[in-house]
Every structure is written in C-alpha cells, then in structure tokens.
Structure 1
Amino acid sequence: MRDFQLPGRSPVRAMDVMVATSHPLASAAALTLLREGGNAIDAAICASAVLAVVEPQSTGIGGDCFCLYVPGGEGSVLAYNGAGRAPGAATIDWYEEQGFTEIPADSPHAVTIPGAIDAWCRLSADHGCTPLERVLAPAIHYAEAGYVIHDRVEADWHEAKDLLAQDATAARIFLPGGAVPRAGDVHRQPELARSLRLIAANGRAAFYEGELAEDLVAHLRKIGGLHTLDDFAAAGGEYVEPVRTSYRGTDVWQMPPSNQGLTALVMLNLLSGFDLAGLDPLGAERLHLEVEAGRLAYGIRDELIADPDHVEVPVDALLSSSYANGLRGRIDPAIANAELPAAVMEPSDTVYLSVVDRDRNAVSFINSTYHSFGSGLVGPKSGIVLQNRGKGFRIDRRHPNCIAPRKCPLHTIMPGMATRNGRVVAPFGVMGGDYQPFGNVHVLSNLLDYGMDPQAAIDLPRVFYQKGELIAERGVPAATLRALEARGHKVGPAEEALGGGQMVLVDWDRGTLTGGSDPRKDGLAIGY
C-alpha cells in the first residue's frame, strides 16, 4: 500500500474492463467503445488511432505497430508483427556508392514503409467485432475538431522544433505561427482527419494503394528517397511466433527478432540467478545487478538481433539456461565489469497501451514513429508523419542489421505479456526506445520480485546505462548513487524521465482487474 501522505496515485481497480494508455483522450475513447460492446482489439486500435492524433510526436499512422493478444485470456499468445520494411531499391551497393556511413535520421532513407495501418486492419478483421469506421471515429473527430495539447506532449514537441522546421508541411501543421503549441492550446490536423476517413471507409487499400500512398511516395522521391508505389502495395505484416522465457514461475512473452524483445528475456534469465526479492528495490545491490545484466543483454542485441528473413538469429541458444548460466559469470555483484562493450543507444518516442475486456481478451499494443515526430517528413496532402525506423539499419556489409531491400531493421518497440499456467497475468509494456528492455524488466521485477501493484511497479524510480554512464532519475536515493559509484559505475542524472509504461493485472480468483499508467506521461488507467 502506498503512503497516502506522499504524492502519487493509487492503482485503478475494476471488474469488467480496464484500459491503460499514455493519454486521457485515448483511454476515454477506448473505454467508451468497450461500453458499446467493442472488444479489447477494437479498443486498442481505437486508442492507438487517437494517440496518433493527440500525441503526434510519439506515434502516427506513418509508423509501425506490434501486438500480443490472448483471446479469452487463456491459451496461446498470438503475436502480430506490423514492422515496415526498406524500399526494394535500398541496396548496400547504392548506399556505399553514395558515400553513406550511416542512415541520417531526418532523411527519406530513414523512412521504412509504414506497417501500422496494415496491422490495424488485419487485427480488426481477424479479431475485432466493431466496424473500422466506428473504431477510428474518435481519432477523426480530434484531428478535425481539435484536441487540447497536454503537458508532456508540449515538452516533447519542443525537442523536435528544429526538425519540424526543415519540412514545409511539418512546419505548417506542427509549428502554427512558427511556434510549438503550448499546453492548453487547441491543435487541429485536418489533412490527417481526411486520411483517416479514407482508411475508415476503404481499409488497408486506402493507405497502401490509393492517393495516400501516391502523396507519400511523391514527397519521398522528391527529396531523394528510393520508395515506389510497388513498395507500398507489397507492404504487409504477419502473425509470428512470440519468444518466451520463465521468470519466478511466470511465463514472459515478447515479439521475436528483428524486434529487441529478446533482449529483455536474456536480462530476465540472467537476473533469475539472483535473489532480488531479498534486496532493497531502490538499493545499489539490486540496481547494479539490473544494469550489469542489461549491459550484457544489449551487447548481444547489437551483435545478433536482425531480420530473421535475412539472417539466422540463434533464439533458442540465446534463451537457453546453459547460455544464461555461462553469461551470468561475467556479473560480479560487488563491482561493475569494465570490459563490456558500449551498446548502441537511440532515444525515441512511442505509445504503449494495455487493454483487458469483459471476456478477458488481453491486448498488449505498441505503435511508434521512432524518434520524436519520426523523420520529420510529412505528406503534403495527407498530413501523415513518416517514421524514421530505417535509422536502425547499419551501413556495414558484415553486420546482421545491414540495410537490404525489403528488410526490417532492428526494432525497439516491444509489447510484453505475462502468463501463468496458461492464463494471462498481465499485458504490460514500457516505452522509450532503447530503454524498453530495461524498463520491461524493471517493472516486471517490481511486480514479481517485490509484490508491487501495477501503479507502484511503474512509479518506482529508474536507472539506465548509456554512453558508459549509469544515469538515474531524481527519485533514486543519494545513498544508492554513492554506493553505485563505489561499485565502479560512473553515475549521472537522467536528463529526462526514463520511458513510460502501462499494465493491467488480471486476478482470476477474485475476478478483478488492476491498472497502472505511468506518471511520466499524461495518461491514465480507467475501467468499470
């Protein structure tokens, strides 16, 4: 139980349904749809579409989407991979001939073919029970009639001001009067409203084969992109087999490569060999082990995780107990390992949401345009912000993540699902680009090792390791930071809050749902 004399909020508890998103308008829209008889898939797509409007820095229909879904809360975990691919002309030869050594984040070459709309339409058709026109109606309303800018959204928006100014359409839509909208201002996106109406009426074809694709391809090619209408027409996600490990008697599920979800599972396997429950959850002993496990797991990610259609990723070997036991020997509980290579880290903005409905259909759903406002490139007629997920490719023939035609880059956005004895425990996730494996593990450990409720598990202060430094949120005790320095870590402050997450905990015995939503964002959990 939390201390009611201190700032904070209680978890949200209900019996029938629960929604947890990073924005109040998205949570409210999803809840309304559930009251009307929609199911968890309908609600997740509805919330994601609203977020694509009201959190334009974090997500959009020009981005990608992943989903883990357990129908009825029992049995198989279904996984849908809505990752976009590189254009068919994106050969390593072309990039080497042009003198590229990396993919510029604000260039057309960072734009992979968006996968979100394909994922929404496929999931809606296969598992939804509400017409897509109704599911997208709240997003269309907010894009057309306007929405009020929230505080975290404004803060993120400022970081992308220079990026938005580089593209005429982006500047016109997202820098009205040449300035970032302020919290409390009303903002509208009429072009995006029209695009969403076309998709609501005509489904996937409206985005990948019609005038929307023509608008996006024309803009990209005008500024040097290799994209074609054939690339858009050929785009499509797929159902895939999720990857799994067991932690403290709970099965934890993630998306398979080229998604980085495997990184979190390797971390959990390493940490399973330590008695975290006997340690202070904000003590140096626990956080040191978390950081060292992360450093090892991220090194594996950077070396091996890539598109399995192009390279072999040894998933079974990496998740084996023998591999974890051997790797764990590189973790000294008393001192930081000075010999581990520095992982490649990129910040990003993302939206993650959890939904459980009255039938206990459980959805873990994530949607992103990668960096804040993605590439900063916007379709002049469609108002669609294009992602820069291709920034994750390497210009290196020897690397598994080397760019190639119709290849998926290493993907950071990762929905999580926890089950026990074949039943859902919780759909959960933590946003924040490369922080996500750390965040997923930290929050899940708070739940399973320390018995925290979803809100407390999400609230607890966080640390991360990047650029050779352990960075800590302000809530980490000063004594802990000194003890981490004594273990050999270079310690510094986190310039921004680390990630943002949601979770819905299912209590089958009591017939209740408990939701938590990250105070690092603007959102909330809500149910009935």
Structure 2
Amino acid sequence: MMPLHTFRLRHVKTVFILSLSLLFTTTSSLAYDRITGESFATRSEIIAQNGMAATSQPLATQVALDVLKSGGNAIDAAIAANAMLGLVEPTGCGIGGDLFAIVWDAETKQLYGLNASGRSPQSLTLEHFKEKGLDSIPKFGPLPVSVPGAVDGWFMLNERFGSRSMQELLAPSIEYAKTGFPVTELIAYYFEMNQARIGQYPGFTDTFTINGKTPKKGEIFRNPALASTYEKIATGGRDAFYKGDIARVIGSFMQEQGGFLSYEDMAAHYSEWVAPVSANYRGYDVWELPPNGQGIAALQILNILELYDIEGMGHDSAEYIHTFVEAKKLAFEDRAKFYADPTFNQIPVDWLISKEYAKQRQQLISPTKAAKRVDAGKNEGDTIYLTVADKFGNMVSLIQSNYRGMGSGMIPTDLGFVLQNRGEMFAMEDGHFNQYAPGKRPFHTIIPAFVTRNNEPLMSFGVMGGGTQPQMHAQIIVNMIDFGMNLQEAGDAPRILHSGSSSPEGSIMTDGGYVSLESGFDYKTRRELMKKGHTITDVNGAYGGYQAILFDSKNKVYYGASESRKDGQAAGY
C-alpha cells in the first residue's frame, strides 16, 4: 500500500477526497517485526555505564566517545563533536553560526545556560532596508548576516567547564578535514538542495563541491580551508577568530559583497551565561533558555496540556491532537509578540510560563472547534543538536545552526565555512519587540532542553527543525510522561506539526493554519480533526531531528537515543 506521506494535499477541498485505499494503509514507519516495545520504534535504546553521546552524524558521535574514553568530560566531548559536525554536516551548522547550551555541572549540582548568539552589524540600520524598499530582510546574501557566536561559545564552555585544551578538541576535525570523510545520505541530499539556494555565491563551488558537483552519498569530501581555520583557532584561541586574521578576512569579504558585518562587529562580540527557566510538568521540571530563543514556547504548551487528562485521551486520538494544536497556537501567538532580545525589551518570561497564565489561556480553547486566529511564525531552518554525558555525572545539551541549512551563502575567502543568515528573523514592523536594530540579537529558533526531577539530572534532549522545535519538545515530554514511551520510542513516535496561515509548501493560505500528521496516525483521526475545523496537509521531512540522553539513577547507567529520520547515532561505553 502507498504510505500516507506520498499524498500531497495542495488544496483544501482535496483534504476531503482522499482515496478509500488510505483507510487500509499500512505506513512505512511501523516496525511490526519488533518483539518488544512500541510498533513504531526503529530500535532499542542504547545503554552504557561510563558515558554517552548522541549526535546527528556517526563520525561526530565517535569523536565525542574518543574524548570521553581518553578521560575528557562531557563538555570537552560536546565541543569536539560540534567542531566535527561543522565539517561533516555543514548543511546544518558550522562556525559561521550561533550556539546555545544547557550544562548540568556535577560538581555544583546546577544547570547553567549559555547564549552564544551574535548581534546585527552596527552600521546596518533599519532605514537602509526602507531605502531599498524592503518590507522583510532577504533570506540570502549579505543583508541577513549577523555575528557568528559559536566559536566564542566553545571557548566560554571550555574555560568554565572543560578539562582539555582546544588544540586537543579540534585535532580530530582538523585531521578529517585534511584527509576526508564519506558523506552520509541525508547530508548529501541537503548539499544538493543548498547548491540550488546559494551555489551562485563566491566560494561555494571551491569549498563545497567535487569537480563542480556537490558530494554524493559515500563520496570522500575534504575541506582543507576549514582545517586551516580550525588550526588558527586551536593555536590562537578565540581572539584568532574575533580579533585576528579570520575576523579581518570576514570584514573585507563582507564589504566586497555589499554587506555590513565588519571587523569591529566581530571584535565586539561576547556571549552570555543565562539562567535556564523551567515549568513543572506532572512532577518533572522541564528546562529551557529564555528569549531571544523560543524555548519557553514549549513550557507554555506543556502548562496548558497539564490541565487535561492527556494519558486518557491516547496518543492517536483526535482529542489529544486537537488539544495539542490549540495549545500550540496560543503559545505561538505569544512567541510572535514577545520573544526577542531581552536587552532591548522587558519580556514577561515569568508570567508567560506561569501556571496562572496557562489557566487563563486554556479558557480560550474549544474542545470541539479549531481556532481560526493564529500567527504561528516560520517553520523553516536546518540545525544540529547533540548531547553528551560522562562518567563524572556531567551532561550537556547543545544546539548549533547556520539557519536555512547552509546559511546566507556568504563564504569568506578560503575560510571553509558559510556565515549564518539568522538576521532574516528580525521583524520590520514599527514597535515590534523583534524589530531590526543595530547591535541586536535576532529572535532565535534553536533551543536545547533539559529535564530534572527532585533537583537531580534526568534527561538532556533536543529536536532540530526551526519553528517545529517547541512543538516537538513538548511532544517528547508528553510521549514519555503521559504515554509511557521510552527514550527511543518517544523520538520515533509519529509527530504532530502545526504551521502558520500558509501551508508548509507555501501553496495556499487558510485561517487557523495547517495540521500535518506524520505517517503512522490513523485516517480516522485525520477525519475527526477535519470535523473540528482543522485543515490537514501532508508534508515530508519537516518533523525535526531528535537526540537524547537519560540518566537512570537507580542502575547508574545512561540511555541514549538518536533520530531515525536523520543520519545520527547514539553510542556509549
């Protein structure tokens, strides 16, 4: 039978004219031959005593394990893995982008948050966009480029928690960049997609192709320019990137391309330690970072869901999916209005994630009718997420991105990486919290997450995928706490995605947005949702990418899980 995800519903009326054969579809995501666990699980969890790493690319996971086995801690391993991902998965991350992290420090028994996101150029003003007749910031080219914060994030993490030198941590990536590595399937696909987006910009062909073509699955890809850049960072420290030759090359290149990011912008950059914020969901404390990221949207969703008997509804029920989508709409209305750089605005974070506010918002949800007013924001953007835990009890939740896959297309001469286009996320409306301003951090989609119970570490996790992330964070928690799924099952379970007033493919507009259900949900469920007024459209590949580690304090072991929809791997020792 044909799987559900092959159906593309391009017009509202077609939602109601699905073939009867769909009623009897057996979806490809089910694994009926498994003898334990949920039928949709792709594999068992990984279990190990001494350390665990879960990343979106197996070679990066192996680099992290090598660091752990040699005596390094989780923070060391996370930095090394992130550097490796910048080489092997440049389609989602790299040192031209930003970084956020949550760290559980076993010594102090506390969580620490790091916001390593960069700011807009000081010389680029809102008036420049208006003079050009732009009502939004372009997706690609020089204008959406903001300061890349990832490298500073590495050094902040290393200085506070690390036990190994940056020379040691970058050495594996430098060697792989010089000698090459085989490209994995999904990353090869994204290479080709990004060539269509940004292949016309200077440096793409020289840096990211083999004889003019993007590397295919299994081909050996090398990036000697990135090896050289990493070597400069390893020996010269963070200032080699922000105040040395690398920063000068970036400033000169951007000026040549008609951009505004300058050497002075690079030299002025700094990251910030921030206090993670939490909401308790049925006895579990779920932690996110405060804005300029969107993490608190997951907490807002969970606070509303906690007011319902979600377990009694069942995972595959129209009642649960309807309730989830309506809670998401409410949280994302607040996201669109309030989430921005807190340096420029007073953001009512404590109120937004309070139980009292959730009760007020819940009153707006009808159990039988989908709400039609919503501004759900954007769901686009590729990212990497990784998590590492060590034998000392440290755990790291780290996420890093260029935005829109490979970023802006601005590839500074002979440096081996692309600068991010995160500035595209700024709003242009007068008075908006996220309105563009010089030296301002844009609204960010990438969010790491953590769970504690009784003030002890339980779980480090994240789900890549632009605006899908808060939705998927909430679903992972619900899957585990309400529906009793294990760490791998919670990630493999079919997912719910609500997108804004235009369809995910941009083909049609509708009030109330679109609900997309991953293959694995029953057609009866879809039909019941349509009766409630939801517009259903199928999308492919938009449901994010999950990695997670859970600590079992009773048996003193780590469980690891990795995303079946990506090329990733969880492994321990």
Q: TM-score band (shorter)?
A: over 0.9
Question: Which residue of 1 is the match for residue 15 of structure 2?
Answer: none
Counterpart mapping for 1:377-456 below 5 A:
377-456=410-489
Question: Which residue of 1 is the match for residue 18 of structure 2?
Answer: none
User: Residue by residue, what CA displacement relative to the aligned partner does 1:105-142 show, whole Å, maximum 9, x if unpaired?
Assistant: 10211111000000001111110001111111111122
**How many Å separate the matches in 2 of 1:476 and 1:107?**
40
Matched, 1:41 2:86: no
User: Is the contact made by 1:497 and 1:520 (CA closer than 8 Å) also made in structure 2?
Assistant: no
Mean CA deviation greater in 5-14 or 102-111: 5-14
- The residue identity in structure 1 corresponding to 2:34 is F
Question: Which residue of 1 is the match for residue 571 of structure 2?
Answer: 526
Question: Which residue of 2 is the match for residue 487 of structure 1?
Answer: 532
- The residue identity in structure 2 corresponding to 1:167 is Y
Mean CA deviation greater in 273-282 or 121-130: 273-282
**How many Å separate the matches in 2 of 1:364 and 1:137?**
22
User: Residue by residue, what CA displacement relative to the aligned partner does 1:431-486 show, whole Å, maximum 9, x if unpaired?
Assistant: 10000000111111111112211110000011211132111222222222222212
Deviation of 1:271 after TM superposition, in Å, equals: 0.7
**How many Å separate the matches in 2 of 1:200 and 1:72?**
27
Please give the secondary structure, in 2, of the residue aligned with 1:263: helix
User: Is the contact made by 2:250 and 2:263 (CA closer than 8 Å) also made in structure 1?
Assistant: no
**How many Å separate the matches in 2 of 1:73 and 1:356?**
14
Please give the secondary structure, in 1, of the residue aligned with 2:286: strand
User: Residue by residue, what CA displacement relative to the aligned partner does 1:134-162 show, whole Å, maximum 9, x if unpaired?
Assistant: 11111112211111110111122222122
Question: Which residue of 1 is the match for residue 382 of structure 2?
Answer: 349
Please give the secondary structure, in 2, of the residue aligned with 1:162: helix
Please give the secondary structure, in 2, of the residue aligned with 1:20: strand
Gaps of 5+ in 1: none
- The residue identity in structure 1 corresponding to 2:485 is M
**How many Å separate the matches in 2 of 1:123 and 1:506?**
22
**How many Å separate the matches in 2 of 1:73 and 1:510?**
20
Matched, 1:225 2:259: yes
Q: Normalization by structure 1: what TM-score?
A: 0.97
Counterpart mapping for 1:49-198 below 5 A:
49-72=83-106, 75-198=109-232
**How many Å separate the matches in 2 of 1:392 and 1:100?**
14
Q: Which runs of 4+ in 1 moved over 4 A?
A: none
* Equivalent residue for 1:27, pick from 61, 65, 82: 61
Deviation of 1:54 after TM superposition, in Å, equals: 0.3
Taking a change above 3 Å as real, the CA distance of residues 455 and 2 of structure 1, as seen in their structure-2 partners, is farther
User: Is the contact made by 2:465 and 2:542 (CA closer than 8 Å) also made in structure 1?
Assistant: no
User: Is the contact made by 1:2 and 1:10 (CA closer than 8 Å) also made in structure 2?
Assistant: no
**How many Å separate the matches in 1 of 2:204 and 2:247?**
18
Deviation of 1:423 after TM superposition, in Å, equals: 0.5
User: Is the contact made by 2:207 and 2:225 (CA closer than 8 Å) also made in structure 1?
Assistant: no
Deviation of 1:497 after TM superposition, in Å, equals: 4.3
Gaps of 5+ in 2: 1-30, 503-512
* Equivalent residue for 2:393, pick from 345, 357, 360: 360
Matched, 1:374 2:407: yes
- The residue identity in structure 1 corresponding to 2:565 is R
Deviation of 1:346 after TM superposition, in Å, equals: 3.7
Q: Normalization by structure 2: what TM-score?
A: 0.90
- The residue identity in structure 1 corresponding to 2:520 is G
User: Is the contact made by 1:74 and 1:423 (CA closer than 8 Å) also made in structure 2?
Assistant: no
Deviation of 1:210 after TM superposition, in Å, equals: 1.1
- The residue identity in structure 1 corresponding to 2:208 is F
Count of aligned positions: 527
Question: Which residue of 1 is the match for residue 347 of structure 2?
Answer: 313
Question: Which residue of 2 is the match for residue 247 of structure 1?
Answer: 281
Question: Which residue of 1 is the match for residue 17 of structure 2?
Answer: none
Please give the secondary structure, in 2, of the residue aligned with 1:514: strand
Please give the secondary structure, in 2, of the residue aligned with 1:308: coil
Q: Percent identity?
A: 39
**How many Å separate the matches in 2 of 1:227 and 1:376?**
14
CA RMSD after TM alignment: 1.5
User: Residue by residue, what CA displacement relative to the aligned partner does 1:188-229 show, whole Å, maximum 9, x if unpaired?
Assistant: 111011000110111101111111111111111111111221
- The residue identity in structure 2 corresponding to 1:53 is L
User: Is the contact made by 1:66 and 1:82 (CA closer than 8 Å) also made in structure 2?
Assistant: yes
User: Is the contact made by 1:245 and 1:251 (CA closer than 8 Å) also made in structure 2?
Assistant: yes
User: Is the contact made by 1:165 and 1:175 (CA closer than 8 Å) also made in structure 2?
Assistant: no
Please give the secondary structure, in 2, of the residue aligned with 1:442: helix
Taking a change above 3 Å as real, the CA distance of residues 303 and 198 of structure 1, as seen in their structure-2 partners, is same
Question: Which residue of 2 is the match for residue 4 of structure 1?
Answer: 34
- The residue identity in structure 1 corresponding to 2:476 is V
User: Residue by residue, what CA displacement relative to the aligned partner does 1:247-300 show, whole Å, maximum 9, x if unpaired?
Assistant: 111111111111111111111111110111112212222222111111111111
- The residue identity in structure 1 corresponding to 2:219 is D
